[in-house]
Structure 1
Amino acid sequence: MMLFSILIANYNNGSFFKDCYASVIVQTYENWEVIIVDDASTDNSVELIKKIIGNDTRFKLFTNKENKGCGYAKHKCVSLAEGGICGFLDPDDALFPNAITEMVQIHKEHNDVSIVTSKYELVDLKMNTIEEGNHGSAISFGKSYLTSGAGAMTHFATFKKEKYNVTVGIDAKMKRAVDQDLYFKMEEVGTVVFLNEVLYRYRIHEQSISANENKFKAHYWHFYAMINAYKRRKKNKIEIDNFTKQEIKIIKSNYYMSRFARAKKNNNHCVKRYFLLKAIVTFPSYNLKHKLKSLF
């Protein structure tokens, strides 16, 4: 039975870990390990996690001496994993009991598969279901993750370690959108399978990226991951669904205009002018009327 590595990067979410832990120990698949990397939490996360996992040797806790960010912590998680298949689980979220069993089955049946994704549900602080997440879906035929629309690949996502090792790995300097960057890279080295089942429970609270200021920061890193994927695929001559230079210029121009709008809202005049200029230079004729109006 293949070892499955559950990867948990924690920063100040130890108070939620008991539900995460409870969902792991009831998995129907029995051969697993849990790699936990605490990224120098400033709360009592480490103490709480140690108390919960006790002497269970299946759980391995590592701590960073200083805060390095999400990319560094997740990169470290993978490097420490001994399983042939890996999957990330956030410490404030939880898995359905059959999650690992379902994933391992797909990976065993298809050697060419690099990553398997599924669907998730949104839950409240007490893990009560709010609604099914609306982002997880199969990638359209003839398309790639880069061009099929944002959010087609979501939690629960699992990947073969041998396929991961062929890539440059998780970008340790990334602060957000680490999962998206990983999805791009895994798609480039193997086949993607979408499992149309809800296997993951995503908890909504004030620290969630979708719930506060972190959403804007995530926007930058999503843009960063997409541009890097485009450059990487061009360099390695990987076909990108006829993804033209004009389309990438539109993405860049729209991103710069979103930064312009934010700077304008915050009355940051120098930053505002900078991003408007970037949007114009990137694609002068695109949405020109709106850009000209923005000058005044």
Structure 2
Amino acid sequence: MIKFSILIANYNNGKYFKECCHSLINQTYRNWEAVIIDDASTDNSVEIIESLIKNDYRFKLYQNDTNQGCGFTKAACMQYAQGDLCAYLDPDDALYPEALEKTAEEFIHKKDLAAVYSQMKLCDENLNPVSTYAGTKQIYNNRYFFNYPIQVAHFFAFTRETYLRTRGINPYLKNAVDQDLYLKILEQGEVKHLKEPLYLYRIHSHGISQDQAKQSAKDSFARIIHETMKRRGLKSINNKTVPEIFTSSQEIFELLTYQTNRMHRIISKIKVTLDNI
């Protein structure tokens, strides 16, 4: 039976962890482990997590001595993962009960899959579902796909073998870490979209400016896209030159404006349909 590694990088989200933990315990798929790394939280996260997982051997908790950031901590999670399949779950989010089972079934039925991703429910601070995120779509995966605008999102599962063929998560990233992972994994093989929500995404503020956070994430995403273009050896995109050196996020996103137009979307949809025949 395929083993699933759920990877959780925590920083000051202890008050939300109960729902995350219970959503794993309630999974219909039983062969899983949860690798949790606390990134030197300043709240009582460790105490809360320890109290919730103390009687379940499937949970493994590790701690960074000092705060290292999201990229470092998520990359470290993979070093402890022992499962055949891996997926990240944020400590303030949760999974639907059949999330692991339905995801694992796809890998069992199609051996050459590199990744499987689902739709997700956007929730309020109390994890009450509000709406299904509309952006998630079945993609046409090629070297010119950069997940801009975002179409691949949670719940994103991949084989450990596939991850080991990549450069892995950049440990120096502070933002857009998941996007970096998606693009690297998608370079390795086929991907399947499950057209149902398996992930509960909690929307809340940690008392920081959301506008600043969004801008920082946008800038990081642009840098990741530029690195991806360079990694794939792309010299031009839609007859526009890819810059040798990153100068601004606007310059990178302008290379991809054609991917948001109606005709490009129609062509991509047709290609996806043909691939699925």
TM-score, normalized by length of structure 2?
Answer: 0.84
Note the C-alpha offset of 1:245. Answer: 6.0
Letter in 2 for 1:243: I
SS at match of 2:46: helix
Note the C-alpha offset of 1:257. Answer: 7.3
Larger Rg: 1
Letter in 2 for 1:35: V
Counterpart residue number, 1:243: 237
Q: Please provide the CA RMSD for this pair.
A: 2.5
**CA distance in 2 between partners of 1:257 and 1:230 (Å):** 13
Counterpart residue number, 1:272: none
**CA distance in 1 between partners of 2:40 and 2:142 (Å):** 43
Letter in 2 for 1:215: K
8 Å contact from structure 1 (residues 69, 175) kept in 2: yes
For residues 40-79 of structure 1, what are the structure 2 equivalents within 5 Å? Answer: 40-79=40-79
Alpha-carbon spacing, 1:88–1:208, altered in 2? closer, same or farther (3 Å): farther
8 Å contact from structure 2 (residues 141, 186) kept in 1: no
Counterpart residue number, 2:196: 197
Counterpart residue number, 1:267: none
**Quick check: 68-77 or 204-213, which moved more?**
204-213
**CA distance in 2 between partners of 1:162 and 1:178 (Å):** 19
8 Å contact from structure 2 (residues 94, 199) kept in 1: yes
Counterpart residue number, 1:177: 176
For residues 84-233 of structure 1, what are the structure 2 equivalents within 5 Å? Answer: 84-140=84-140, 144-146=144-146, 149-207=148-206, 211-233=210-232
Note the C-alpha offset of 1:112. Answer: 1.6
- Cα deviation digits, residues 208-232 of structure 1 (max 9, x gap): 9994521111111101110111000
**CA distance in 1 between partners of 2:18 and 2:59 (Å):** 13
**Quick check: 172-181 or 132-141, which moved more?**
132-141
**CA distance in 1 between partners of 2:36 and 2:117 (Å):** 21
SS at match of 1:218: helix
SS at match of 2:196: strand
8 Å contact from structure 1 (residues 9, 91) kept in 2: yes
Alpha-carbon spacing, 1:141–1:9, altered in 2? closer, same or farther (3 Å): closer
Higher relative contact order (CA 8 A, sep 6+): 2
Note the C-alpha offset of 1:55. Answer: 2.6
Alpha-carbon spacing, 1:70–1:141, altered in 2? closer, same or farther (3 Å): closer
8 Å contact from structure 2 (residues 143, 187) kept in 1: no
Alpha-carbon spacing, 1:167–1:141, altered in 2? closer, same or farther (3 Å): closer
Counterpart residue number, 1:28: 28
Note the residue ranges of structure 1 that are not aligned, 5 or more in a row.
Answer: 235-239, 259-278, 283-296
Q: Of 255, 258, 280, which residue of structure 1 is paired with 2:249?
A: 255
Quick one: percent identity of the two aligned structures? 41
Q: Judging by fraction of residues, say which structure has more helix.
A: 1
8 Å contact from structure 2 (residues 127, 202) kept in 1: yes
Alpha-carbon spacing, 1:18–1:63, altered in 2? closer, same or farther (3 Å): same
- Cα deviation digits, residues 277-296 of structure 1 (max 9, x gap): xx9xx9xxxxxxxxxxxxxx
**CA distance in 1 between partners of 2:119 and 2:207 (Å):** 18
8 Å contact from structure 1 (residues 118, 199) kept in 2: yes
Letter in 2 for 1:36: I
8 Å contact from structure 1 (residues 145, 153) kept in 2: no
**CA distance in 1 between partners of 2:251 and 2:155 (Å):** 33
**CA distance in 2 between partners of 1:117 and 1:36 (Å):** 21
Alpha-carbon spacing, 1:210–1:245, altered in 2? closer, same or farther (3 Å): farther
Show structure 1 runs of 4+ deviating over 2 A. Answer: 140-145, 207-213, 242-245, 252-258
Note the residue ranges of structure 2 that are not aligned, 5 or more in a row.
Answer: 256-277
**Quick check: 173-182 or 133-142, which moved more?**
133-142
**CA distance in 2 between partners of 1:54 and 1:43 (Å):** 19
TM-score, normalized by length of structure 1?
Answer: 0.79
Quick check: 1:38 aligned with 2:32?
no
**CA distance in 2 between partners of 1:60 and 1:210 (Å):** 33
SS at match of 2:92: coil
Note the C-alpha offset of 1:247. Answer: 6.1
**CA distance in 2 between partners of 1:14 and 1:119 (Å):** 25
Note the C-alpha offset of 1:161. Answer: 0.2
Counterpart residue number, 1:292: none
SS at match of 2:237: coil
